[in-house]
Amino acid sequence: MSTPEMNIATFLAKSATHHPDHPAIVAGARTVTYREFYRRALSIGGELLARGLRRGDRVAFALHNSPEVLETVFGCIAAGLVAVPMNARLHAKEMGYIVRSSGAKVLIHGAAFTAEIDEHLGEFDGMQWRFEVGGTEGIEPYDRLLDSVTPLEAPVEVTADDASWLFYTSGTTGRPKGATWTHRTGRVVVVMNYLADVYNIDHDDVVLHAAPLSHGSGIVALPAIARGATNVILDALSFSPELLFDTVARHKVSHIAFLAPTQIVAILDKYDPDRFDLSTVKAVCYGGAPIYLEHLKAAVETFGPIFAQIYGQGEAPITVTGLTREMHARFAATDDPRLGSAGIARTDVEVRVVDADGTPVAPGEAGEIIVRGDVVMRGYWNNPEATVEALREGWLYTGDVGTFDDQGYLYLLDRTKDMVVSGGNNVYPREVEEVLITHPAVASVVVFGIPDEYWGEAVHAVVVTEPGHQVTAEELIRFCGENLAGYKKPKAVEFVPELPVSAYGKILRREVRDRYWTGHDRKVGGGARRVATATP
């Protein structure tokens, strides 16, 4: 029998004790103190348990960035329930699949999603309770969770291996898979190791969240809350560099929790030192996709040595390897090519680059990146086949191709899987292909990423039409938008008379894709003009 250990929500309990009146969350005109934040989380957890949920049950939510995201996460975790965040940009059909796959009994969502969820309610089998932030008649209001007559007195006891969070990440089968994070993952890896290896957040820090709280920025919120820092949420549904600058100046932001490379490009383009004061910013964490080396150099030159890079994935959250602020400063000053690397293995993480047999390769040689340590997920939720494929003898096989230099710096080169990273969002071609192939005018299709100066990679579709049928690229892109999140739609559709196939009739994706990458030194994230992950 497993021994009870510390619940992740204890971090919030301690901050509420030490700093009860300190602002925990600021969003527009709203301010929530640590005392109130903790009270709300205990109410949510207690009410869900009073409804009949039991430890280990899943609670899914679709919310735009707001205090409700963090309240829901900590309310679930405090009750021993499993939070299932969903990207707010997903289509309702995709949300429905995640609810069914996770077996979530509860769905919490914002009013912005109500109409689309209602339209596809049949996709949400298994959901027993539904709460809405915003108040539509006929749906239980989220506020009812905040007013429970049976709030928790404290976070419940859990074991280190109890699930706390399901992070749904797309898979090569075209269906998302739920990477299972435990309380140990959150407590030791996400919180303590972020503070140790990425940025040591302090109580006096003001942490800005400009990226989705359902993903990277929300994960960084955990160590910020553990330290009793103030979490400021950018008050906009879409990213605005000018609003970010104004928010930094108004709240004296010291740490920007997470930016995708596209957001760094955007702030570079809009920054005017005569208009905006960013002098309080000490650290900016970025990741989610590779960044062009010239963009990174320009960012360091413009904003100073404040950047910290992380490389990881949903199966190994936050950081597998990284480049500290000090490394950025040193490498930028000396034009060291290691500025273009993904950094070194984190303190308690072991990383190897191996060949097809799992044997480590020599520095300078390419192979698949594998990872070992507490950073690795417990497995994929209810997907033993995918778990066995990804986890072998204690190692996570990431599907990324890379190489080490002789000093242990990792360089990303390509992917063994076919994932496209566009603007920091993961898109798997199979998902898009499975939608396009259902269109009556499409006979065959292949989807992949092509270099894009702004997005890093753009989703591109090459289509063969059915004889006698005509369709435009705009029609197919619109068709995708009716079934997929907007960021998964192809940026362009190209029509060809035929696609190359193997002797077994399989479309040769790489053969089609490779011609778009001619002259590039890698096949991820743009890879042009001596980009950030050039081979040493």
Domain of 498, CATH number, reads 3.30.300.30
- Give pLDDT tens digits for 393-404: 999 999 998 999
Let me know whether 174 and 38 are in one domain: yes
- Give pLDDT tens digits for 306-340: 999 999 999 998 889 999 999 999 999 999 999 98
Out of 183-192, 264-273, 307-316, least confident range: 183-192
Let me know whether 106 and 157 are in one domain: yes
| pLDDT the model gives residue 503 | 52
> Pick from 391, 415, 439: which residue ends a domain?
415
Q: Strand 4-5 to strand 158-159: parallel, antiparallel, or no bridges (unpaired)?
A: antiparallel
Could you write out the three-class secondary structure of 65-78?
CCHHHHHHHHHHHH
Let me know whether 278 and 424 are in one domain: no
Look up tokens 């940026």; give the residue. Answer: 491
Q: Which pLDDT band, with edges at 50, 70 and 90, does 253 fall under?
A: very high
Tokens of 64: 């735009």
Q: At 148, which CATH number?
A: 3.40.50.12780
Instruction: Assess if residue 36 is contained within a domain.
Output: yes
Let me know whether 210 and 231 are in one domain: yes
Residue 173, pLDDT > 50, answer no
DSSP 16-80: HHH-TTSEEEEETTEEEEHHHHHHHHHHHHHHHHHTT--TT-EEEEE--SSHHHHHHHHHHHHTT
Element (H, E) at 443: strand 442-452
Let me know whether 452 and 408 are in one domain: no
- Determine how many CB atoms are found less than 10 A away from the CB of residue 474: 9
Let me know whether 356 and 261 are in one domain: no
Provide the 8-state DSSP code for 157.
Answer: P
Let me know whether 262 and 366 are in one domain: no
Give the domain extent around 95.
4-286
Residue 535, pLDDT > 50, answer no
> What is the distance between the alpha carbons of residues 430 and 450, in angstroms, rounded to a whole number?
16
Let me know whether 54 and 200 are in one domain: yes
| pLDDT the model gives residue 453 | 83
Instruction: Assess if residue 341 is contained within a domain.
Output: no
| pLDDT the model gives residue 534 | 27
> What is the distance between the alpha carbons of residues 67 and 108, in angstroms, rounded to a whole number?
13
What value does the mean pLDDT of the chain take? Answer: 91
| pLDDT the model gives residue 522 | 64
Q: At 358, which CATH number?
A: 2.30.38.10
**Mean pLDDT within 335-363:** 95
Select from 248, 253, 240, 309 the least CA-distant residue to 273. 248
Contact 8, 219 (CB under 8 A): no
Let me know whether 396 and 436 are in one domain: no
Instruction: Assess if residue 315 is contained within a domain.
Output: no
Q: Which pLDDT band, with edges at 50, 70 and 90, does 1 fall under?
A: low
Residue 530, pLDDT > 90, answer no
- Give pLDDT tens digits for 18-72: 999 999 999 999 999 999 999 999 999 999 999 999 999 999 999 999 999 999 9
The residues, ordered by sequence, that sit 6+ positions from 195 with a Cβ below 8 Å of its Cβ are 201, 223, 226, 227
| pLDDT the model gives residue 426 | 79
> What is the distance between the alpha carbons of residues 258 and 309, in angstroms, rounded to a whole number?
9
| pLDDT the model gives residue 415 | 74
Q: What is the pTM of this model?
A: 0.86
Instruction: Assess if residue 216 is contained within a domain.
Output: yes
Let me know whether 41 and 98 are in one domain: yes
Instruction: Assess if residue 382 is contained within a domain.
Output: yes
| pLDDT the model gives residue 525 | 58
Q: Which amino acid is present at 13?
A: A
Let me know whether 224 and 186 are in one domain: yes
Q: Specify the number of domains making up the chain.
A: 3
Let me know whether 120 and 207 are in one domain: yes
